């Protein structure tokens, strides 16, 4: 009898390794009670895919109602609907949209994976300290990168924000909303309205697409000539672009009907692209929508407002300053977020946990700001005077 070859056993060995690596995990989705947060991280359809794969998904009752998803829809797709937060915060992974509060961080059992927006400008020191004491691994949704080096959560929300900003500007230019009674865009024989966009990024791109589609004249400002060139190539047409020259921007704003601020930053800046003096020079009844107002804003006169009270007037200019535009269309936004988060949950499980995945996934590693209770985000370290560690060095020990 011939002895079987060694290579005949190779497929079996690989299958055993894969089976050992994969983990069944529990995922918890708490109810975000913040008035301005209507989105949820996973849709019922995404929950079904995860539960069919053997994972447990717990959600707090009513967590998806503001996004248009009922408890019954989640239950029918395999979710376990919990009446209180306690069961949710004992899961292996807790995923939510709004940044963690101090009270929510205190409910964690410890040693878990937590995913939410971080928002370095508003994160409190006590909340961060709780996350570190609980020895969790915390990921900031807005900092996670995909295999192409892009930020999938930010990109999808920026698309929504860009389009929504133009729709809002159009509404507040009308007399029914207190505007000066002009239509955003143009019709035959009437001079088109002018839209100035600060930022040649995704939000700026989709704002420009929407404004151009309505027939408006669009002017785009950015600090990078390369981004401006790429911006024009993506739109497939020539349009007015400029780097930031205060006098050029000031002149453009004098004739603008709409200003959309699309630039954002991790750190509150001590200066603004659009100063109060520039706003004073704008036409009466023009509209400002600052999409980055939650991170400091592009416009000096912009101030963070709740979605239920987003409008005020200053120097004769209407300001729309709600910080979370995607929550105006929470169902669309939730589906877009779920398209990012559901595969991420499965990938973490298939890798056997967060540490094995972080070792080989640079994009996910960029999203970590606390690793096993150790601060790894330099911006937060400077903000609170806490020594941060390089996550690459920490992972090298595992």
| Helices and strands, number each (H, E), in the chain | 15, 15
Residue 155 CB partners (closer than 8 Å, separation 6+): 202
| pLDDT tens track for 32-87 | 988 789 999 999 999 999 999 999 999 999 999 999 999 999 999 999 999 888 88
299, 310: one domain:
yes
Could you tell me which of 179, 211, 192 has the C-alpha nearest to residue 287? Answer: 179
Could you tell me which of 318, 11, 13, 378 has the C-alpha nearest to residue 169? Answer: 318
CA-to-CA distance for 6 and 8, rounded, in angstroms?
Answer: 5
Domain that holds residue 144: 12-150+329-396
33, 136: one domain:
yes
182, 313: one domain:
yes
> Between residues 396 and 107, which one has the greater pLDDT?
107
3-class DSSP state of 198: strand
Q: Judging by beta carbons within 10 Å of its beta carbon (0-12, 13-18, 19+), is residue 60 exposed, middle or buried? A: buried
- Residue 15: which pLDDT band, with cuts at 50, 70 and 90? very low
Global pTM value: 0.87
| pLDDT tens track for 297-347 | 889 999 888 888 899 999 999 999 887 899 999 999 999 999 999 999 999
Weakest mean pLDDT among 14-18, 128-132, 293-297: 14-18
Q: Is the pLDDT of residue 292 over 90?
A: no
| pLDDT tens track for 141-175 | 999 999 889 999 999 999 999 999 999 999 999 98
145, 159: one domain:
no
169, 308: one domain:
yes
Say if 7 falls within a structural domain.
no
CB 25 within 8 A of CB 50: no
Q: Which of 277, 309, 328 is the last residue of a domain?
A: 328
- Residue 288: which pLDDT band, with cuts at 50, 70 and 90? very high
- CATH code at position 67: 3.40.50.720
CA distances from 328 to 85, 159, 164, 165, 297 (A): 25, 13, 8, 11, 19
Domain count across the chain: 2
Would strands 137-140 and 368-371 be described as parallel, antiparallel, or unpaired?
antiparallel
**How far does CA 131 lie from the centroid of its chain?**
21
Q: What is the pLDDT of residue 242?
A: 95
Could you tell me which of 114, 330, 82 has the C-alpha nearest to residue 74? Answer: 82
Q: Which of 297, 313, 328 is the last residue of a domain?
A: 328
- Residue 16: which pLDDT band, with cuts at 50, 70 and 90? very low
Q: What is the pLDDT of residue 6?
A: 41
Q: What is the pLDDT of residue 55?
A: 96
Alpha carbons within 13 A on the beta-carbon side of 34: 19
Q: Which two tokens stand for residue 297?
A: 């804003």
| pLDDT tens track for 227-254 | 999 999 999 888 999 999 999 999 999 9
Q: Which of 281, 298, 328 is the last residue of a domain?
A: 328
DSSP structural state of residue 66: G
Q: Which two tokens stand for residue 204?
A: 């700026």
């Amino acid at each position: 009898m011939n002895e079987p070859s060694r290579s005949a056993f190779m497929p079996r060995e690989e299958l055993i390794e894969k089976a050992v690596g994969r983990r069944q995990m529990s995922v918890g989705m708490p109810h975000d009670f913040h008035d301005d947060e209507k989105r949820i991280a996973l849709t019922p359809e995404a929950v079904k895919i995860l539960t069919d794969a053997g994972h447990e998904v717990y959600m707090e009752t009513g967590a998806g109602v503001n996004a248009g998803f009922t408890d019954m829809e989640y239950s029918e797709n395999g979710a376990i609907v919990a009446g209180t937060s306690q069961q949710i915060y004992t899961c292996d992974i807790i995923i939510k949209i709004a940044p963690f509060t101090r009270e929510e961080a205190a409910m964690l059992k410890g040693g878990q994976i937590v995913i939410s927006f971080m928002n370095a400008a508003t994160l409190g020191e006590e909340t961060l300290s709780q996350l570190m004491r609980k020895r969790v691994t915390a990921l900031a949704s807005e900092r996670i990168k995909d295999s192409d080096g892009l930020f999938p959560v930010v990109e999808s929300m920026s698309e929504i924000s860009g389009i929504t900003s133009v729709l809002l500007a159009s509404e507040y230019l009308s007399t029914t909303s207190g505007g000066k009674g002009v239509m955003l865009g143009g019709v035959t024989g009437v001079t088109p309205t002018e839209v100035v966009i600060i930022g040649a990024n995704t939000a700026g791109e989709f704002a420009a697409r929407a404004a151009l589609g309505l027939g408006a004249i669009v002017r785009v400002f950015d600090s990078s000539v390369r981004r401006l060139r790429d911006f024009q190539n993506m739109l497939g047409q020539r349009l007015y672009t400029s780097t930031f020259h205060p006098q050029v921007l000031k002149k453009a704003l004098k004739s603008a009907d709409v200003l959309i601020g699309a630039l954002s930053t991790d750190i509150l800046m001590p200066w603004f692209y659009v100063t109060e003096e520039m706003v004073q020079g704008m036409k009466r009844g023009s509209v400002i929508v600052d999409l980055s107002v939650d991170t400091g804003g592009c416009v000096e006169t912009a101030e963070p407002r709740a979605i239920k009270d987003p409008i005020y007037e200053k120097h004769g200019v209407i300001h729309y300053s709600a910080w979370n535009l995607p929550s105006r269309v929470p169902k669309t936004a939730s589906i877009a977020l779920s398209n990012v988060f559901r595969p991420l949950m499965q990938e973490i499980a298939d890798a056997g946990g967060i540490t094995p995945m972080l070792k080989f996934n640079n994009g996910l590693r960029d999203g970590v700001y606390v690793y096993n209770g150790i601060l790894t985000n330099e911006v937060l370290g400077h903000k609170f005077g806490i020594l941060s560690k390089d996550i690459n060095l920490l992972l090298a020990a595992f």
